[in-house]
């Protein structure tokens, strides 16, 4: 089912689940299918727990005794492994380990019966593992409530860290709650306080947040992720479904569909989405105007062509050389040779104007027209790793392009990297690297070349910064025509003039 979705749809589905949205389509499909399988497993587990809750107390006692019997049958090494999985201490004798696991099993049984009864006091939901005697006297607040996550797939690392400032119901004392461990287990927890004032609690909370994320809590609306640090997972303290327009997850999904940044609080996400919608409307208007131009008659094209040739014939040698230079053509030779060169270029421009929509479309991106036919027949492009670069210097009469594109074979077994470069207006030179058995080397070559030419990391392209004497990135719009068979390529040019 997932492999029938388009790349943008796959990314949107992954964004809704808070999963990584980068990679080629096969990787996205596999990631989404794994998530769907996990969801199905959770639903099945939840259904089983519900049946258990509906059964009698004797059944709960029976299950508890079975689990305790399994612990007693384990040796010390197995008991320590089980304790580690549950986030419990792994030290001590077999008797101590048994007692620790049995107590934890009893607590799990109690939580299984009450898992849907999270305590909601104040603006934030109290963490389920806060002791009951604290829950009865304290409430949470969304101003100082954070869920952090650190994920590293390569190292099989997926950790959480919960921070929450608690205020007593009589507003006289304050505490700070921490809980941390591997995702999927209870982990360890700690309570600091009580304090007579909120100031020390807030200071402890803010310092811990900075220590884990390298961001100040006061700047969280402009959160910046730092490698090897925790990411902040924004909590939506939204309204009920019937009293809201778009939820945070829905806003993020819509932004992900457009390839835009999905982090930030709801007001920031709303503003970003509204700007994107306004840009889309502007592009639709521009596309409609170009379509009307393409629908004009052939006689108009011929007329324009003849007018241009007549203008060339009226020019002197100096003016012809200047026009040739503008078009990236050689400026040497006699007037007759210059005329012939310019007329041939005008004819080629006219041909390109009529055929500009006939680029080969396979995958999410349009294959560069100069890729060999035998490669086009077996490979497709992807908009995630497809870049058009430009370097312009008016003073030095310099206007160059550089095309980079990762290609995936139709059978998804091999990958290549296509490069083409030269002066704007000419074919230039091209090169194909590969094939590779994995997408990783192809992506690495692409990313390194992008950085070499622009001094920007590909992963940071949405915050692209132009550097003098480097190439500028021309963002490409992978829009579709109404008949879904041709592509309009819009390049939002950076106005770059190197002084």
Residue 384 has pLDDT above 90, yes or no: no
Percent of the chain at pLDDT > 90 equals: 11
Q: What is the mean pLDDT of residues 43-48?
A: 71
Give span(s): CATH 1.10.720, the chain.
298-355
CA dihedral of residues 400, 371, 366, 363 (deg, nearest 10): -140
Residue 231: name the closest of 163, 157, 149 by CA: 149
Of 6-20, 167-181, 278-292, minimum mean pLDDT range: 278-292
Residue 1 scores a pLDDT above 90: no
Higher pLDDT, 58 or 423: 423
Question: Is pLDDT of 14 > 60?
Answer: yes
pLDDT at 204 over 90: yes
Question: What is the mean pLDDT of the segment spanning 246-271?
Answer: 75
Range from 169-178, 265-274, 413-422, 481-490 carrying the lowest mean pLDDT: 481-490
Q: What is the residue-averaged pLDDT of the chain? A: 76
pLDDT at 210 over 90: yes
- Domain 373-492, CATH 3.40.190.10 — does that match? no
More confident position, 478 or 490: 478
Give the tens place of pLDDT for each residue, 315-346.
888 888 888 887 778 888 888 888 888 888 87
Q: Residue 472: left if φ>0, alpha if ψ -120 to 50, beta else—which one?
A: beta
Q: How confident is the model at residue 28 (pLDDT cuts 50, 70, 90)?
A: confident
| Cβ contact 163:177 at 8 Å | yes
Q: Give the residue range(s) of CATH 2.20.140.10 domains in the chain.
A: 118-235, 373-492
CB 43 within 8 A of CB 37: no
Peptide bond into 435 cis (omega under 30): yes
Local structure of residue 126 (DSSP, 8 states): P
Most confident of 76-85, 155-164, 199-208, 265-274: 199-208
What is the spatial distance between Cα 225 and Cα 219, in angstroms, rounded to a whole number? Answer: 12
At 97 the pLDDT is: 84
- At 206, list the tokens: 């803010």
Q: Identify which has the larger pLDDT, 235 or 219.
A: 219
The answer to whether residue 357 scores a pLDDT higher than 50 is no
Q: Is the pLDDT of residue 194 over 70?
A: yes
The residue whose two tokens read 């009920």 is 240
Average pLDDT in the 192-218 region?
90
Q: What angle do CA 154, 156, 157 make, to 5 degrees?
A: 110
With CA atoms as reference, report the closest residue to 144 among 132, 160, 126.
126
pLDDT at position 212: 93
For domain 298-355, the CATH architecture is: Orthogonal Bundle (1.10)
Largest CA distance in the chain: 104
Count CA within 13 A, CB hemisphere, residue 478. 22
pTM above 0.85, yes or no: no
Give me the pLDDT at residue 176, please. 92
Up-side HSE of residue 288: CA atoms within 13 Å toward CB?
A: 6
Evaluate if residue 396 carries a pLDDT over 50: yes
Most confident of 33-42, 86-95, 465-474: 465-474
Q: 118-235 sits in which CATH class?
A: mainly beta
Q: Is the pLDDT of residue 171 over 60?
A: yes
Residue 49: pLDDT over 60: yes
Q: Residue 205: which of 284, 262, 124, 132 has the closest Cα?
A: 124
Q: Which of the four pLDDT bands, split at 50, 70 and 90, describes residue 350?
A: low
Residue 205, pLDDT score: 92
CA distance linking residue 233 with residue 150, whole number of Å: 10
Read off the tokens for 63: 């299950």
299 or 128: which leads in pLDDT: 128
> What percent of the chain is predicted at pLDDT more than 70?
72
Choice among 131-145, 218-232, 258-272, 455-469 with the minimum mean pLDDT: 258-272
Higher pLDDT pick, 4 / 156: 4
- Burial of 43 (C-beta count, 10 Å sphere; 0-12/13-18/19+): exposed
Task: Determine the average pLDDT of the residues in 110-124.
Answer: 48
Of 44 and 165, the one with more pLDDT: 165
Identify the CA nearest to 175 among candidates 213, 212, 217, 144.
144
**DSSP single-letter state for residue 125:** B
Residue 156's CB is within 10 A of a number of other CB atoms, namely 8
């Amino acid at each position: 089912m997932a492999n029938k979705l388009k790349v943008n749809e796959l990314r949107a589905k992954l964004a809704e689940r808070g999963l990584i949205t980068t990679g080629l389509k096969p990787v996205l499909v596999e990631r989404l299918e794994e998530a769907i399988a996990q969801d199905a497993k959770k639903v099945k587990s939840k259904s089983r727990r519900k049946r258990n809750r509906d059964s009698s107390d004797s059944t709960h006692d029976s299950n508890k005794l079975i689990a305790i019997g399994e612990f007693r049958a384990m040796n010390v090494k197995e008991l320590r492994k089980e304790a580690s999985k549950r986030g419990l201490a792994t030290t001590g004798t077999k008797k101590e380990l048994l007692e620790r696991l049995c107590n934890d099993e009893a607590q799990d049984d109690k939580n299984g019966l009450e898992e849907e009864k999270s305590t909601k006091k104040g603006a934030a939901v109290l963490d389920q593992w806060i002791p009951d005697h604290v829950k009865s006297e304290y409430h949470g607040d969304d101003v100082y409530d954070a869920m952090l996550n650190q994920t590293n797939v390569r190292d099989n690392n997926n950790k959480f860290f919960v921070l929450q400032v608690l205020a007593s119901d009589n507003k006289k004392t304050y505490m700070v709650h921490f809980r941390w461990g591997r995702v999927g287990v209870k982990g360890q927890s700690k309570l600091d306080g009580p304090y007579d004032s909120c100031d020390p609690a807030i200071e402890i909370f803010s310092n811990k947040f900075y220590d884990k994320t390298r961001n100040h809590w006061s700047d969280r609306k402009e959160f910046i992720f730092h490698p090897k640090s925790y990411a902040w997972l924004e909590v939506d303290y939204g309204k009920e479904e019937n009293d809201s327009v778009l939820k945070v997850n829905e806003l993020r999904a819509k932004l992900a569909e457009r390839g835009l940044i999905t982090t930030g609080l709801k007001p920031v996400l709303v503003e970003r989405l509204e700007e994107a919608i306004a840009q889309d409307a502007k592009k639709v208007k521009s596309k409609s105007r170009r379509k009307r131009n393409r629908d004009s008659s052939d006689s108009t094209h011929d007329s324009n062509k003849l007018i241009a040739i007549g203008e060339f014939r009226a020019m002197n040698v100096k003016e012809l050389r200047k026009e040739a230079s503008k078009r990236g053509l050689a400026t040497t030779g006699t007037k007759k040779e210059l005329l012939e060169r310019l007329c041939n270029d005008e004819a080629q421009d006219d041909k390109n104007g009529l055929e500009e929509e006939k680029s080969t479309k396979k995958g999410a991106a349009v294959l560069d027209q100069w890729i060999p036919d035998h490669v086009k027949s077996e490979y497709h492009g992807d908009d995630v790793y497809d870049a058009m670069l430009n370097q312009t210097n008016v003073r030095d009469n310099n206007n160059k392009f550089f095309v980079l594109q990762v290609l995936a074979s139709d059978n998804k077994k091999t990958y290549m990297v296509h490069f083409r470069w030269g002066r704007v207006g000419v074919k230039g030179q091209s090169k194909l690297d590969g094939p590779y058995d994995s997408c990783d080397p192809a992506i690495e070559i692409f990313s390194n070349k992008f950085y070499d030419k622009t001094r920007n990391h590909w992963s940071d392209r949405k915050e692209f910064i132009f550097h003098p004497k480097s190439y500028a990135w021309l963002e490409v719009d992978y829009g579709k025509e109404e008949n879904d068979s041709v592509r309009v390529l819009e390049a939002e040019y950076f106005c770059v003039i190197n002084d």
